[in-house]
Structure 1
Amino acid sequence: MAANPEKATVSAERRRSPIEIAWAWLVEGLAAVGTVMICILMGIICADIVARNAMGSSLPLISELGALLLVMIVALQFAATVRADRLARTEIFFVTFRDRYPRGGAFLSALFNLVGALMIGGIAWATVHILQKDLDSGEFIGVPGIATLPVWPFRVFILIGMTITALEFARQMVADLWRLVSGRAAA
C-alpha cells in the first residue's frame, strides 16, 4: 500500500499553531508593505529625474520623502529578514560550530538573538519618544505653502517594524533556548 504523501508531510513537519500562522502572516505582510513602498520610492525618484530634466529643478518633498521612506522600508522588512535567518553574521565560524556542537550553537544563537532583541527594542523605545515629539510639535517635511507632509505616519510604521523585529528576535531566542534545553539539533 502506497504511503499518503500529504500525511507524511504533516507528520514530518510539526503542525503550526494559529498564533504561529498569524505571526508569520504579520511578519510577511509587513515585508510586503515594505516592497510596495520600494515601488513607490522608485516611482517618486523617477518622477524627480523627469522633473529635473524637464523643468531644471527637483520636485518638492522628494529628498525628505525618500529618506523617510528608505528608513521605513528597512524597518518594515527587518523582521522578515530575521525570521528567514538572513542577517549577516560570521557564517564561516557559526555554521561549522552549530553543526559540530548543536547545543553550543543553540546557545550562541540564543545569545545573538537576545542582543538583537535588546538593541532593536531600544531603537523601538527611542522611536516612541521621537514619535511623541513629532506629534506634539506637528513636525512636517517639505516647504510650507508649496507641499508638506506630516512626519508622524512614517514614524508609526518605523515603530511598528522595529517592535515586530524585536519580538521576532525574542521568538527566535526562545526557540534556540528550547533547542538548547531539549538537546535537539538546530533546524
Structure 2
Amino acid sequence: MTLETTATGARGRLERITDGVMGAANVVATLWILGLMVLIVADILGREAMGHPIAGVPEMVKYSIVGIVFLQVAHTHRKGEMIRSDGILSWLRRRWPRAGMTLDLLAQLCGAGFALTLAWAVWPKAMRAYARGEMEGVQGHFTLPVWPFLLLIVLGSVLLAASFLLTALDTLNAKKDG
C-alpha cells in the first residue's frame, strides 16, 4: 500500500464521516422546520379558536431560523447548491483553466477562513451565555436559553469550514489531474 493510497483512504473516511454529520444536521433541521410548522398552526388555532395562543412562539421561531440555517448551510455547500455567481470563474476556467482553478481554490480557502473565524468569534459568547444562564423572552411568561442556538452557529460554521476545505481538496485534485 502506497502513501498516496493511505492518504486517499483516510481522506475518503473523513469525507464519509463529515458528509454523514452534515446530512444528519440537514435532516434534524428539516424535521425542526416541520415541527415549527405544526407549532405555528397550533398557535394560530389556539389563538383563534380558544383565545389562548401558545406562549413563546415568536421567540421560538426567531431563534429556530438561526439554528436551522446553520444546521443546513454546510450540507447545502457540500452538495454544490449554495448560491454563487460563477460567471467570471466559468469564463476564466475556459480561457485559462489553471487561473480559474486557482481562483476557485482561493475562494474555497477564504470561505473556510471566514467560517472558522465566525465559529471562533461565537464560541466564547456561547460559553458565556451558558455560564450566565442567559435567557430570551419575557420573565414569568416564556423564556428559553440562548446558548444552544449559539452552539449551533459554532457547529454549523465548523461544518461549513470542513465543506469548504473538502471542496478545496477536490479542486486541488482536479488541478493535479488536469
Q: Using structure 1 for the length normalisation, give the TM-score.
A: 0.79
- The unaligned stretches of length 5 or more in structure 1 are 1-13
1:159 aligns with 2:154: yes
1:57 CA drift (Å)? 6.0
In the TM superposition, 1:133-172 aligns within 5 A as 133-172=128-167
Partner of 2:22: 27
Partner of 1:7: none
Partner of 2:121: 126
Partner of 2:4: none
Q: What's the secondary structure of 1:36's corresponding residue? A: helix
1:85 CA drift (Å)? 1.6
Q: What's the secondary structure of 1:171's corresponding residue? A: helix
Q: What's the secondary structure of 2:137's corresponding residue? A: strand
What is the letter of the counterpart of residue 150 of structure 2? R
Partner of 2:106: 111
What's the C-alpha RMSD, in Å, of the aligned pairs?
2.2
- The unaligned stretches of length 5 or more in structure 2 are 1-7
Equivalent in 27, 39, 45 of residue 44 of structure 1: 39
1:65 aligns with 2:60: yes
Could you give the per-residue CA deviations for residues 125-150 of structure 1, whole angstroms, max 9, x where no partner exists?
12202201211221112333343322
Would you say the 8 A contact 1:103–1:183 is kept in 2?
no
Q: Using structure 2 for the length normalisation, give the TM-score.
A: 0.83
Partner of 2:90: 95
1:79 CA drift (Å)? 0.5
1:23 CA drift (Å)? 1.8
Would you say the 8 A contact 1:60–1:143 is kept in 2?
no
What is the letter of the counterpart of residue 109 of structure 2? L
Distance change >3 Å, CA 178–CA 144, structure 1 → 2: same
Identity of aligned pairs, percent? 32
What is the letter of the counterpart of residue 124 of structure 1? A
Would you say the 8 A contact 2:72–2:156 is kept in 1?
yes
1:37 CA drift (Å)? 1.2
1:72 CA drift (Å)? 0.6
